[in-house]
Amino acid sequence: MKRIWWLLLTTLVLAAVVLSACSSGQATPAPQQESQQQTQQEQATQPPQEETFTFGMLLVGPYNDHGWSQAHYEAGQYVEQKLGAKMLYVDKVNPADRPGTTPEQLAEDLVSKGAKLIIFNSDDMKDAALAFAQAHPDIYVIHASGDNAWKDGKDYKDIPNFSNVMGKMIYGKMIAGCAAAMTTETGQIGYLGPLINDETRRLASSAYLGAKYCWQHYRQKDPADLKFKVTWIGFWFNIPGVTSDPTQVADDFFNSGYDVVLSGIDTTEALVEAKKFADQGKKVYAVPYDFKEACQEAPDVCLGVPYFNWGPLYMKLIQDAKDGKWQSTFIWAPPDWKDINNPDTSAIGFEMGPALSDEASDAVTNFIDELANGLNLWVGPLKLQDGTLYLKDGEAATDQQIWYLPQLLEGMEGQSVPQQ
């Protein structure tokens, strides 16, 4: 009997060693080191006496997703450094990754660890953020991408400890549209859209406005000759069997004469497919979305990327909270027109891609300058896709009109409202 036991134990220990060696890649999360470094930095930079302000962040995806969640995570780190605050976070806050938990519950966990302010980083957490804010009036709540704190919005809820932040990505999309219009040779631009809602209509339309402006004014062409088509896949990323396959959609664009595809989804199919077609000798390009370094995946076909920079926005709100100056607010922040890529001041930016020609790049720079100097493309006359008047001649759209854009604009191809 003894022999068996020893044999068993040895095998087990051996197996454990081997397994753990193999799995250590997964089991050892990267932030281990990072956070240690960080705490060291914190200890070094921080005045020892002052009480550190702790804030919590709930990330819908992995903290290193090269997209939406990573942008938030890095913003949190930015606040930590600049403000000497301490961030607690939980990533993958979604029912698929954390079965049996709810965002409220996780937020409470962060509070019990000392967090005074909680950031909910996804539209999907809207209900949870509201419920949590109402249940915990002593904790500040920031919900990124919602509109419930907007007094002039449609869904205003009077919750003093609740604020919304969002960058004015409409400008990023206009610039992206301009880059596409300056590059296209066929005059056909495709837009790979996620699902249809106010936000996505708004962004697709902004891209169209930017494209149309540069097409008309810089390339001196007739807007009627510009084709701009939106195809919605149904969600922010591919769900086989549920959404359309973005790879397929991108291929269809490239195969039917669309030589630039703007991505409105969270993943990089447009870029990947463009690269595939370019490798076969076609001159096609793509513009990704969300994350500053997205072009790196296929620089040769990347015209640039509009991205979010949450750092300055969080910085301001957390600073207010820390100083006791908090007020419920809705922030829809434009870029810093002095330098849209300034990490300390600009809420959104546009990183030019290697595939953008010098000529086009000059035009895009010029376009940005014009915007900075007050060029407003959301100005009449503009009609909605079905021909109804949206803005009278000379009439500038209000924030509400833009935020709650009911349809795509005239001149764009594609669905305006989801099929019922």
Partner 1 sequence: MKPRWENLAFATAAVFVALAFTSLVLVTAGASPFEAYWYMLKGSLGSWSKISDVLVAWVPLLLATAGLLITFAAGLWNIGVEGQIVLGGIFTTWVLRLLQDSTLSPAFILILAIAAGALGGALWAALAGVLKVFGGVNEIFGGLGLDFVAVALTLWLIFGPWKRPGIGSMSGTEPFPKELWLPTIPGSRLSLWALFIGLVSIAIVYFLLSGTYFGLKLKAVGKNPRAAYLLGIPTTRYLMMAFVLSGLFAGLAGAVQVTAVYHRLIPAISSGYGWLGLMVSMLINFQPAWAAPVTFFFAALNIGSIQLPIVLKLDSSLSGVLQGALVLSFLLMGGVRQRWLKKHQQEASDD
Q: Which of residues 241-280 bind partner 1 (CB under 8 A)?
A: 241-243
Cβ–Cβ under 8 Å, residues 302 and 231: no
DSSP state of 398: P
Stretch touching partner 1 by CB under 8 A, among 73-81, 90-98, 361-369, 377-385: 90-98
Calculate the alpha carbon distances from 197 to 236, 280, 311, 416 in Å. 12, 36, 26, 9
The amino acid at residue 222 is D
- Which residue, 124 or 370, is less far from partner 1 as judged by CB? 124
- Which residue, 155 or 344, is less far from partner 1 as judged by CB? 155
- Which residue, 2 or 325, is less far from partner 1 as judged by CB? 2
CB 110, min distance to partner 1, A: 7
CA atoms within 13 Å, Cβ hemisphere of 110:
31
CB 141, min distance to partner 1, A: 17
- Which residue, 88 or 375, is less far from partner 1 as judged by CB? 88
- Confirm or reject binding of residue 379 to partner 1 (CB under 8 A): no
Q: Which of residues 26-45 bind partner 1 (CB under 8 A)?
A: 26-29, 31-32, 35
Cβ–Cβ under 8 Å, residues 246 and 192: yes
CB 309, min distance to partner 1, A: 24
Distance, CA of 295 to CA of 273 (rounded, Å): 13
Distance, CA of 411 to CA of 60 (rounded, Å): 35
CB 221, min distance to partner 1, A: 35
- Confirm or reject binding of residue 10 to partner 1 (CB under 8 A): no
Cβ–Cβ under 8 Å, residues 132 and 117: no
Distance, CA of 134 to CA of 139 (rounded, Å): 9
- Confirm or reject binding of residue 171 to partner 1 (CB under 8 A): no
DSSP string, 208-226: HHHHHHHHHHTS---GGG-
- Which residue, 57 or 178, is less far from partner 1 as judged by CB? 57
Stretch touching partner 1 by CB under 8 A, among 121-129, 300-308, 315-323, 361-369: 121-129
- Among 23, 45, 186, 357, the residue binding partner 1 under the rule CB under 8 A is 23
- Which residue, 33 or 342, is less far from partner 1 as judged by CB? 33
Scanning 308-398, the segments in alpha helix (DSSP H) are: 311-323, 358-372
Scanning 256-305, the segments in alpha helix (DSSP H) are: 269-279
- Confirm or reject binding of residue 105 to partner 1 (CB under 8 A): yes
- Which residue, 112 or 373, is less far from partner 1 as judged by CB? 112
Scanning 236-380, the segments in alpha helix (DSSP H) are: 246-255, 269-279, 311-323, 358-372
Q: What three-state secondary structure class fits 334?
A: coil
- Confirm or reject binding of residue 3 to partner 1 (CB under 8 A): no
- Which residue, 124 or 410, is less far from partner 1 as judged by CB? 124
Site size toward partner 1 (CB under 8 A) is: 57
- Confirm or reject binding of residue 100 to partner 1 (CB under 8 A): yes
Distance, CA of 92 to CA of 158 (rounded, Å): 29
Q: How many CB atoms lie within 10 A of CB 13?
A: 10
Site of interaction with partner 1 (CB under 8 A): 1, 4, 8, 12-13, 16-17, 19-21, 23-24, 26-29, 31-32, 35, 88-91, 94-96, 98-102, 104-106, 108-110, 112-113, 122-127, 195-198, 234-236, 239, 241-243, 418
